[in-house]
Homo-oligomer: A and B are copies of this chain.
């Protein structure tokens, strides 16, 4: 497995792959890899085949964390990450440092102003600007033909798809299904922050999704407006006092616009705090 620290080094290799006609699949991560990331790596391998190259980037990107957020405490374990990448037969890992990605006079940002301006952006107003900026950098460095993102960060995936379309980046974006623990909790590096009690209460996020899906699939197409559906789910939150809802929304899956009527096929997204830990989840209803 190759390991690159310098953007120029990886870029030289990637451009060489382009010249050879060897496709590259990129899996951008912030490390502390779990089963969800592994499923992205396997999806990447399926996309480019044995003759293609799978590149995993491991970088906790400071520009996507807001003030007071968990940039410093974000869990890290590079040794274990590299071991996992090795086991998954990844071809190259990219482990840049901040000076390489954001030199002292760094000044260029990529901004998506439609699909990334609602939902997560209300609580995290600078988050997606950081995401689009680093992903644009990573795409230019790794020159992937295809890149894999997890459905768990659904708004992120839709935002990146829009950026790719608008800026004509020559990359195909694949969205891989959310991996869940046995009790349904969406896998996330941030789950490591949870106390045992919080960990148990956190399952309510997915329980709410399942309940919403059930209600919507039972009801007539016209029977659920978003307010009524949210009201129907609220008792579940009252039973888990450790969970404080940040938002709960029902949107269309392409433009993330609020639905007047919640019907089968629309997407439910939610975010909640457990103590100071903020978790998100979403699914198609």
Say which residue of B11, B106, B111, B140 sits within 8 Å of A109 (CB atoms).
Answer: B111
Cα of A255 to Cα of B168 in the assembled complex, Å: 29
CB-contacts of A7-28 with B (<8 A): 7, 11, 15, 18-19, 21
Cα of A15 to Cα of B24 in the assembled complex, Å: 14
B137 and A168 contact, CB distance less than 8 A: yes
Encode A223-266 as 1/0 by CB contact (under 8 A) with B.
Answer: 00000000000000000000000000000000100000000000
Contacts A7-B168, A140-B168, A170-B11; is A108 near B21 (CB within 8 Å)? Answer: no
What is the chain B residue whose CB lies nearest that of A171? Answer: B140
Contact partners of A106 in chain B: CB under 8 A: 166
Determine how close the nearest CB of chain B comes to the CB of A141; give it in whole angstroms.
5
Besides the contacts A18-B19, A107-B112, A109-B110, what 19 more A-B pairs have beta carbons closer than 8 Å? A11-B170, A15-B18, A107-B113, A107-B114, A107-B115, A107-B162, A107-B166, A108-B110, A108-B111, A108-B112, A108-B166, A108-B167, A109-B111, A109-B113, A110-B167, A137-B167, A137-B168, A140-B170, A141-B168
